[in-house]
Amino acid sequence: MTPDGSVPASGTSQTPQIPPGEPPEREWHVVARGDRDGGAPTTDLRRLVVAGVAAVAVVLLVVTIGTASVSRFLAERDAIANGTQTADLLAAAAIEPRLTPTLLAGASTALDELDEVVDTRLGALGVIRLKIFTADGTVVYSDERRLVGQRFDLGAVERAVLDHGVTRAAVTTPEGRENEFEAFRGRLLEIRRPVHATTGQRLLLEVYGDYAQIEPRAAGLWRTFVALEVVGMLALLLLLAPVLWWLVRRLAEAQRRREEALRASVVASDAERRRLAGTLHDGPVQELTAASLTVAAAADSMRAAGQEQRAATVDEAGVLVRRGIASLRTLLVELYPPELRGADLDDVVDDLVEPLRSRGIAATAWVEPGVGARLGSEQVPLVHRVARECLRNAATHSQAAHVSVRIARAPGHDDRVVVEIADDGKGFDVRETMRYPREGHVGLAVLADTCRRAGARLEVASAPGSGTVWRLTLTPEAGR
């Protein structure tokens, strides 16, 4: 495209002078770092090891959290079982034999006698409070003497214990009017079970244990479980490490072979393109050139004989033949470009964008004056190779209406040259394409390998619906 916005006709050698401008902010993805690593990228073993260690850490964290929950649950179940046994022991050994009619009547001597027996056992068994209710909710005994004789409404759980003779245990907090004298306000382990007076009357026994006793038991179980889990996982890792290492090496070897096959396919493709270009040049191009000369001679003969109308018709045929020759020569350049070492950078870029113009794509190019002289003899072919692949992708896959090539010194870096190829096409997901390249689409891997071997940095910025920009960064001294 010329500065006035027009697109030059196909076959012109003019390189449009597009002002450089500053590119907008983009998210760049590195394809090749330009570190001259001397080979194609293989599986990053260090990254795999880090990912494995991170996975193990996550598993250990999940196991630790899960084990803590399981340990607390088991400790709570264990504490409930122990509390139930404590209540059974108190009921059978200390309480039921002393539930006499005298005690049920509230006689002080009977209450004092039971107090003396119970007080000696409460602390030893971890019991904080003990109460005995009749079926109507009257407290006939409690180690908190102020509760004796008071009547409270029994809940559904208490009723079930009395009606069905079952034992119920739960973790609760001291609430309700019957706990108004409790100084302890933490969580309690509450055991409810039936007891029988000497008269055979069924009563309700409530025993409260300190929930804090569960904590050391849960901690002990947690330490045991975690130790077992860690030892088990470490043993599993030791057993799997050789297998995992073998699989990783096999994966790296498979990727290396695949990339070698890609490079071999590129070499074979170049050889085939060279063969096709040679066949076209020595066959149809030469024959059409001879035909063009013959048609021109025939037109001259007709014109000399005064057959102007026939000569004009033959001249039109000659124009069509010459257009066909020009198209074939353009195809030859696409198939197999001429020797590029020492070639003028403006001509190289113009040859690259011309085929896009012939397809109706508005292709523009701008080369900073004098920048071509800064590149080494091996770097001009590299620019051609990268730009050709990017432009071919733009023409084939992007559905772009405008494509531009810009070559200039990097801002703030006089020792670097930057080549940018941009299009306004449909774009693509760079991360997805780099991670999972589609079968048969080897251009990105080949470009990465080519730039890596040449010590050049290649980046790409694209997203679905936002166009694509390729950026090749060269250090001229590296190519001289």
Nearest to 113 by CA among 129, 97, 125: 97
Query: How far is it, in rounded angstroms, from Cα 8 to Cα 2?
Result: 7
Please, what are the domains in the chain?
29-38+344-479 (3.30.565.10), 42-274 (3.30.450.20)
Distances (CA, A) of 289 to 206, 292, 324, 330, 337: 113, 5, 10, 15, 20
CB 461 within 8 A of CB 415: no
Give the per-residue pLDDT at 242. Answer: 82
pLDDT along the chain (480 residues), means of 10: 37 38 64 60 58 75 77 74 76 85 88 82 68 91 87 88 86 64 67 90 86 71 76 78 79 77 70 74 79 85 86 86 76 59 70 81 88 78 84 85 90 82 88 65 68 85 88 69
Alpha-carbon distance 435 to 359, whole Å? 32
Quick one: pLDDT at residue 235?
82
CA distance 350 to 344: 10
3-state helix, strand, coil in the chain (%, to 5): 55, 15, 30
Q: What is the pTM of this model?
A: 0.43
pLDDT score for 21: 43
Rounded-to-integer distance, Cα 326 and Cα 318, Å: 12
SS3 125: coil
Closest CA to 89 of 128, 52, 118: 118
